[in-house]
Amino acid sequence: MRLAGVLFGALVLLGLGSQSACAEKRVALVIGNSTYQNVPRLDNPGNDATLLAHTLRSLGFTLVGGGAQLNLDKTALDRVVQAFGAQLSGADVGLFYYAGHGVQVRGENYLIPVDANPTKEADIDFQMLDTNLVLRQMEGAGTRLNIVILDACRNNPFGGRGLAVARARDPENTRLRDTTGGLAQMQAPEGTLISFATQPGSVAQDGTGGNGPYAKALAETMRKPGLGIFDAFNQVGLQVKHATKGAQQPWVSSSPIDGAFYFVRPDGAGPQVADLRLPTPAITAPAATTSDVRRFDGVWAVDVACKKSGVLPDFKRRILASISNGVFRGQQGLPRSPGGITLEGTIEADGAMRAFAEGISAIGKFSFSYTMMGRLEGTSGTGTRDDRDCDVKFTKQVAGQGSR
């Protein structure tokens, strides 16, 4: 999966109603499923989820798992939605984004994990995720505004296997009929806006060039100052309609929403969003690799202790990292494998360090990413993570040549 550039910045000052912007808590869960095991894979959901995750983070959202959650099986999907519900407690705004395969069955919409392989309609409840479960997690949290974005209106992936999972009920009678794909219409609960990549029962395009037209329009529109929530999604719809020459028209279901909401305030206050088209930048040494920087050269132990957070358990782990000429690199396990984590960052002459982490959980096998920040002094140091309450301790194990 491509990983967009690391974004660092303070929270954007954004408002909901008369509430102080700086006090607003925003939480988002972003999921992208591309590498399906039993049905055709999709090219862009992983890229789309990564793009939206970094956009939302730059707009003041705390991301469940620290970043886009990619290629989740049923166990991981259930687990991360539960974590989302727990992390929403005390939040003002909750946002759920899903890109990948989705189907409707008997008028209900289901999101498809990468390991789904149903052989009959009765398997659906056990192998897929009912979108109503996501809505219930959000309703129970007491947030003032919930936004659900379903970029899952693609073709029925099981249609060629003789399994009619895309089915709807005719309004005139109780007879079930097969549908061509897409999702069913949903009623938005109180204080909720639901946005679909295209109209109910229609099929959306996966897109070319790395991102789908809907995700690309979302990321661009969210960064525009002064757009109310309804104006923002209307502009997304117009942009997608134009880009697809009318073949795809996003659709919105909403209940009345109390107060005004802006992704970016009308005055544009807050940090600028970085160029999301760039890949993860290469980690290079600081411009001045003086002896002050090289004194940290060597092998370091990075001990991370995280406290329990909702359904996420407490845990401890040690990662061995090397520092050379101001460049920090750490690795535990195999890259892009369950239990593996990679750290890359820089050390300044005053000992300030910042590193970006990405990995895959050993339990649940969901992707995560976060930023680690700290300061080194002599042969030790302390730090934090930006995604959850964790204590980080650095201890030099072996001195490098530059530190002597």
CA 225 – CA 269 distance, rounded (Å) = 8
Residue 310 is predicted with a pLDDT of 62
Q: Which amino acid is at 80?
A: V
Each residue's pLDDT tens digit, 128-155: 999 999 999 998 888 999 999 999 855 5
Give Rg (Cα) of the chain: 22
Q: Which fold has domain 21-254?
A: Rossmann fold (3.40.50)
Cα–Cα distance between 171 and 113 in angstroms, integer? 30
CATH topology assigned to domain 291-403: Porin (2.40.160)
pLDDT per residue as tens digits for the range 305-314: 998 876 667 8
Q: Is the pLDDT of residue 403 over 80?
A: no
Give me 365's structure tokens. Answer: 């096998």
Can you tell me which residue has the tokens 């600028």? 272
Give the whole-angstrom CA distance, residue 336 versus residue 331.
Answer: 11
pLDDT at 31: 96
One-letter amino acid for residue 289 of the chain: T
**Domain locations along the chain:** 21-254, 291-403
Distances (CA, A) of 272 to 275, 283, 333: 9, 22, 35
Q: What is the pLDDT of residues 354-397, one digit of tens each?
A: 888 887 777 656 667 788 999 999 999 999 998 788 999 999 98
Q: Read off the pLDDT band of 127 (50, 70, 90).
A: very high
CA max distance for the chain: 83
- Cβ neighbors of 8 (< 8 A, separation 6 or more) are 354, 371
What's the angle, vertex CA 226, arms to CA 142 and CA 49, rounded to 5? 60
Q: How far apart are CA 3 and CA 86, in angstroms?
A: 26
pLDDT band at 233 (very low <50, low <70, confident <90, very high): very high
SS (H, E, C) 70-82: ECCCHHHHHHHHH
Provide the 3-class DSSP secondary structure of residue 315: strand
Q: Which of 281-286's residues contact partners 24+ apart within 8 Å by CB, and which partners?
A: 281/5, 281/6, 283/327, 283/328, 283/329, 283/344, 283/345, 283/346, 284/327, 284/346, 285/325, 285/326, 285/327, 285/346, 286/326, 286/346, 286/347, 286/348, 286/349
Give the residue with greater pLDDT, 283 vs 125: 125
Tokens found for residue 257? 């929403």
Mean pLDDT rounded to a whole number for the chain: 77
pLDDT of 172 strictly over 60? no
Residue 192, token pair as written in the block:
């909720």
The pLDDT value given to residue 197: 86
Parallel/antiparallel/unpaired status of strands 352-360 and 69-70: unpaired
> What pLDDT is recorded for position 74?
95
Distance, CA of 35 to CA of 40 (rounded, Å): 8
Q: What angle do CA 161, 167, 169 make, to 5 degrees?
A: 160
The pLDDT confidence band at residue 28, using thresholds 50, 70 and 90, is very high
- DSSP letter (8 states) at residue 294: H
Q: Which long-range contacts (CB under 8 A, 24 or more apart) does 347-354 make?
A: 347/286, 347/293, 347/296, 347/323, 347/376, 348/286, 348/293, 349/286, 349/288, 349/290, 349/292, 349/293, 350/292, 350/375, 351/296, 351/375, 351/376, 351/377, 351/381, 353/328, 353/381, 353/383, 353/394, 354/8
Mean of pLDDT values over 170-184? 46
pLDDT computed for residue 324 by the predictor = 85
The answer to whether the beta carbons of residues 264 and 224 sit under 8 Å apart is: yes
Q: Is the pLDDT of residue 92 over 50?
A: yes
| Cβ contact 168:121 at 8 Å | no
pLDDT over 60 at 268, yes or no: no
Tell me the average pLDDT across 277-299.
58
Whether 261 has a pLDDT exceeding 60, the answer reads yes
Average pLDDT over residues 88-95: 93
Query: What is the pLDDT at residue 199?
Result: 58
